[in-house]
Structure 1
Amino acid sequence: MRKTFVLDTSVLLHDPNCIHAFGDNLVVIPAVVIEEIDKKKNLQDIIGRNAREVARELDLLRQEGSLSQGIDLSNKGKLKIELNHKSMNKLSESFSEINNDNRILAVALNFQEEKGKENVILVSKDVIMRIKADSLGIESQDFIHDTVEYNSDEVYKGYSEHYIASEKLSEFYQKNYLEVSILKQENKNLDLFPHQFVLLRDASNPNQTAIAKYNYKLSKLEQLYQGEDTYWGIKGKNLEQRMALEALLDDEVRIVTLTGRAGTGKTLLALVAGLYQTNDLKKYQKLLITKPVIPVGRDIGYLPGDKDEKLRPWVQPIYDNLELILGTKTISKLEDTLVGMNRIEIEAMTYIRGRSIPNQFVIIDEAQNLTKHEIKTLITRVGEGTKIVLMGDTDQIDHPYLDSVCNGLSYTVSKLKEQPMAAHIHFKKVERSTLAQLASEIL
């Protein structure tokens, strides 16, 4: 039997095309949701953009017939803007306040009375909305159409660990490579992605290890050439950092994704690799650094000053890392150094859209606060010769409609892992300080 999905405003503002994601079922948009969308359409951010996209999509669909009567969708489903089923009588016993959320709940509850409990589902990105629905006996669910597996043990981390015989490990050290076919003999289910890293352990003595990188063209595991090399005085302190530097310095890799907790060195390594290749090797014309401005309190527009002064508090972590790398001790000295280098640009993400960015090393920090649409918009700005680095902590989400398994960074990692021009590293060990490591693990 066809199910009825009642959509909350948050779902449409998260994904304007969500109405096509429910198969051959009935998709119901309460009239109050349209009113809420209308109030958001003038916002100059991703929420406003999505609200306008929803309006355009519904405007196109209404050419197929009356939305209030219901129209057929291309996936054999049906869409209806619901003007009825809005009585608050059954809801008022539990939630007496008349607000938009309760009006949406009332529509779902009245549909349930008509069609049966098992046939009506409220879909919302709002956790409180789902809790209220559950208390009323309404089945509810998150919108998981674009969710990826990200917290499970089997999530792609950019590297894997395998045990091999002692003689094979010795052979690897002698030749500096190992045929993948040899590794597959002892690991039948081996599945490697381009630019994936492999930690080889001696089966008889696990303390004996080697780090290899998968060469997908030659089907070989090749030893990392990095040793004690330092870049602007910085080198990889642990396994993940060494692998990350390898990916960041690899010309074949055009997009690198870095995930991990605060203090693992993501920003520092990306900046070092960018400075080295931009300033020393002259591979890129400019190092462009940006991050989304997702405020916990007031928006950036309430801060005094010009654009650069408004942006400074949001990009201060980047300046902190640059001070460490460049060895400057004052803000004025750092700014003078950056002006003198004339190859580093720190820009607000708002001004990236619409640009074409050729031959640059682009770093996007806090990418977990971007939607998949924003990530796509940024990557499509990339011109020839540009390398882009996306990094962030997927456990620290500030965007109201995103979470650890539903955000642009996680989505990019999942979708690009099989692509030859992409590499990914997930950091585990905190290197900022012993105290930071302790806090990360215990608090």
Structure 2
Amino acid sequence: MLKEKSPTSSESKAKIFVLDTNVLLHDPQCLHKFEDNTIAIPVEVLEELDGKKSAPGELGFSARKIHRDLRALFDEGLETPPELNGKGSSALSRDLPNGGRLVVVINDYMVTGESENEGLNRLKATLVNMEKMDSRILASVFFLKDVCPDSRVILVTKDANMALKGIALGLEVQDYMNDKVTTAKLGGGCKTIVVEDADYERFLEEQGVDLSPELTSHLYLNEYIYISNGEFSEPARYRGDGQIDALILGSDVGVKIPKGIRIHPLNSEQRMLMDALLDEDIKLVTCSGKAGTGKTLVSIAMALFQTIGEDNLYERVFITRPLVHIGKDTGALPGTLEEKMAPYIAPFFDNLEVLFSNRKVVKQEEPANEDSHINRITSTRKRKKAMAKLAKQPSKQESAEEDNKPRKPFQFLFDYGMVEVEAMTFIRGRSLSNTIFIIDEAQNLTPHEAKTVVSRMAEGSKVILLGDPYQVDSMFLDAWSNGLVHTAQRLKGTEITAHLELATGVRSELADLAADLL
């Protein structure tokens, strides 16, 4: 449902929501989320969607889905829209399953060139180029206001410039709010539960305590909290029915990465994150926080520990991030998929350097001498790649140069297929089992893209969404409508998900200062 402004005298009027192109592309399911109101789509929006249907990735998929859904609605024939009071007779109109109505609008005023509408004339005088799609969509809003005087006509757009134009021309404009969370639901950190001396002592001795409903009724399942008594405080996790459990790891206990370093939690927030990542029953972890709080490092460390450790819970780690540019685009990148993705996943390599910094650099001709279980999980795809490389028969000089190149201490992870780089573009249609999937910078995902990623996880898999909601680089997303916060908000309180916020910077004093003040 679209969230409304404060009630006014016009609240009793029927509402007509005019959807901009970016709203349909942002959420292809939006036609079913306006309850029993009327949705108007200017025909110019269909023209813009047509130009996007061949675009790669989710953009093209969204455009094609909207086209299919609209075609299905109008397959039974045409109706004259009663909403237009006999005007705009060439438009299409259909009832929606949720009780609302859909109208595809053709602006008769633009067809005939004749109009006495003051707003439309002001639009033509202000925006000289009426051939631009934005201008024509605004003209359709004025047309609807003129032919539907008994209705509130509201332009819904995620384009800030389009919204400003509409407001300047006196139109009622709203953002698409269905997938947004409110400011009250975003941030705030961990709650603190104050308990009596006896309950606190029992919590320390038994690693858990049952509390009364009065103390826990405001908590959701798997929420991480602080249990406090006087000046003492301990991180904990709410397991439902008043049960508060201590965390798996103590403050002085670290996790040893096979062939790498031992990583210790630097604060209680990182202990909470490690607790969620090490829990086999948790299938989805969302973690938000400012830059430098250790989200990516801790996530990669725990993923590798469970993949190449003794328990070998997972077969591989997939790592990716949305391909969103900051600043000027550098253009198409040459090379293989791994080479194209390298600039985007450089932060992962930085963290792997830290995790395996205690290993000596080895030459490629030296035997890797890996554990036997590593050989057992070597993927067929990796073997095929190795065979293809042998078939190329490189020259002796090339082989010698390759042999002399120093290997990264973590290169064996890629050689044996335990860590793979995955492009978001190719994730649709896949089914990933026994995999930990880490998506960094998840605040640049749309809610639909986040749903696509999470729904790819098969049995035995875990997905980790990381990001800073206040560093959104995508044009039509913000801190309250991106895929990271949308996923956390919609799935929190379920048995197999956990959601955390990290606020304490650990990278450096300068990084912490920049994250807070710049």
The two structures have a TM-score, normalised by structure 2, of: 0.79
Pick which of 81-90 and 228-237 moved more. Answer: 81-90
Quote the offset at 1:373 in angstroms: 2.0
Residue equivalent to 1:320? 350
Q: 1:159 and 1:64 mapped to 2: Cα distance?
A: 53
Q: How far off its partner does 1:27 sit?
A: 1.6
| TM-score, length of structure 1 as denominator length | 0.91
Q: Deviations over 1:140-164 (max 9, x none)?
A: 1011122223x32x54778421222
Identity %: 38
Counterpart Cα distance in 1 of 2:56 and 2:109: 31
Q: Distance in 2 between matches of 1:278 and 1:103?
A: 55
- Distance in 1, matches of 2:167 and 2:201, equals 60
Distance 1:143 1:343, change over 3 A: same
Residues 103 and 94 from structure 1, CA distance in 2 versus in 1: closer, same or farther, beyond 3 angstroms? same
Distance across 1 between alignment mates of 2:354 and 2:150: 60
Would the alpha carbon gap of residues 86 and 271 (structure 1) be closer, same or farther in structure 2, given more than 3 Å must change?
A: farther
- Asked whether the 8 Å contact 2:222–2:498 carries over to 1, the reply is yes
Pick one of 80, 93, 98 that aligns with 2:125: 93
> CA contact under 8 A between 2:193 and 2:228: conserved in structure 1?
yes
Name the aligned partner's letter for residue 107 of structure 2: N
| 2:194 alignment partner, one of 134, 153, 163 | 163
Equivalence for 1:76 = 99
After superposition, the CA RMSD in angstroms is 2.3
In structure 2, C-alpha distance between the alignment counterparts of 1:261 and 1:115, rounded to whole Å = 47
Instruction: Determine the structure 2 residue equivalent to 1:268.
Output: 297
Q: Distance in 2 between matches of 1:76 and 1:283?
A: 48
Deviation of residue 177 (structure 1)? 1.8
SS in 2 for 1:273: helix
Which residue of the other structure, out of 218, 224, 246, is the alignment partner of 1:197?
Answer: 224
**Amino acid in the other structure paired with 1:200:** I
What are the Cα deviations for residues 113-159 of structure 1, in whole angstroms up to 9, with x where unaligned? 3334961111111111111111111001011122223x32x547784
Q: Distance in 2 between matches of 1:421 and 1:22?
A: 30
Give the equivalent residue in structure 2 for 1:10.
22
Per mean C-alpha deviation after superposition, the further-off stretch among 253-262 and 170-179 is: 170-179
Distance 1:343 1:440 in 2: 33
Q: 1:3-42 maps to which residues of 2 (within 5 A)? A: 3-42=15-54
Q: For residue 175 of structure 1, what is the amino acid of its counterpart?
A: E
CA contact (8 A) 1:300 1:310 kept: no
- Pairing 1:13-412 to 2, within 5 Å after superposition: 13-66=25-78, 68-87=91-110, 89-98=121-130, 99-116=132-149, 119-149=152-182, 151-152=183-184, 154-155=185-186, 159-181=190-212, 184-185=213-214, 187=215, 190-202=217-229, 205=230, 207-216=231-240, 219-227=242-250, 228-231=252-255, 232=257, 233-280=262-309, 281-296=311-326, 302-327=332-357, 332-334=407-409, 336-339=411-414, 342-412=417-487
Aligned residues: 433
Q: Deviations over 1:368-413 (max 9, x none)?
A: 2112222222222212111111111111112222221112211111
Single out whichever of 373-382 and 311-320 deviates more from structure 2: 373-382
- CA gap 1:273/1:157 in 2 versus in 1, 3 angstroms: farther
Distance 1:225 1:70 in 2: 58
Deviation of 1:192 after TM superposition, in Å, equals 2.4
Query: Which structure 2 segments of 5+ residues have no match?
Result: 1-12, 80-90, 111-119, 362-405
Instruction: Report the Cα offset of residue 415 of structure 1.
Output: 1.5
Distance in 2, Cα, partners of 1:146 & 1:12: 13
The 8 Å contact of residues 259 and 425 in structure 1, kept in 2 or not, is answered as: yes
Further displaced range: 309-318 or 380-389? 380-389
Mark the CA change 1:78 to 1:329 in structure 2 (over 3 Å): closer, same or farther: farther
CA contact (8 A) 1:23 1:75 kept: yes
Q: Helix, strand or coil for the counterpart of 1:81? A: strand
SS at match of 1:162: strand
Do the aligned partners of 2:28 and 2:65 also contact (CA within 8 Å) in 1? yes
- Structure 1 stretches of 5 or more lacking a match? none
Q: Secondary structure at the match of 2:300?
A: helix
Deviation at 1:21, TM superposition (A): 2.1
Contact 1:158 / 1:196 at 8 angstroms: preserved in 2? Answer: no
CA distances 1:159-206 after superposition (whole Å, capped 9, x unpaired): 42122223432232233221122xx45x3x73222222220122xx3x
Q: Does structure 2 conserve the Cα–Cα contact (< 8 Å) formed by 1:294 and 1:369?
A: yes
In 2 relative to 1, CA 4–158 (structure 1 residues): closer, same or farther, beyond 3 Å? same
The answer to whether the 8 A contact 2:190-2:226 is kept is yes
Retained in 1: the 8 A contact 2:16–2:39? yes
Q: Which residue is 1:421 aligned to?
A: 496
Q: Could you tell me how far apart the structure 1 residues matched to 2:433 and 2:479 are?
A: 31
Shift of 1:348: 1.5
Most deviating of 9-18 and 169-178: 169-178
Shift of 1:70: 1.6
Give the C-alpha shift of residue 436 in structure 1: 0.8
Q: CA deviation at 1:225?
A: 3.8
| Mapped partners of 2:76, 2:475: distance in 1 | 33
Shift of 1:219: 4.0
Looking at structure 2, the residues matched to 406 and 111 of structure 1 have their Cα atoms a distance apart, in angstroms, of 28
- Using the alignment, how far apart are the partners of 2:411 and 2:105 within structure 1? 61
Q: Distance in 2 between matches of 1:168 and 1:131?
A: 56
Aligned equivalents of 1:439, 1:377: Cα separation in 2:
33
**1:237: Cα distance to partner?**
0.8
Q: Is the 8 A contact 1:117 1:139 kept in 2?
A: no
How far apart, CA to CA, are the structure 2 residues paired with 1:10 and 1:354? 25
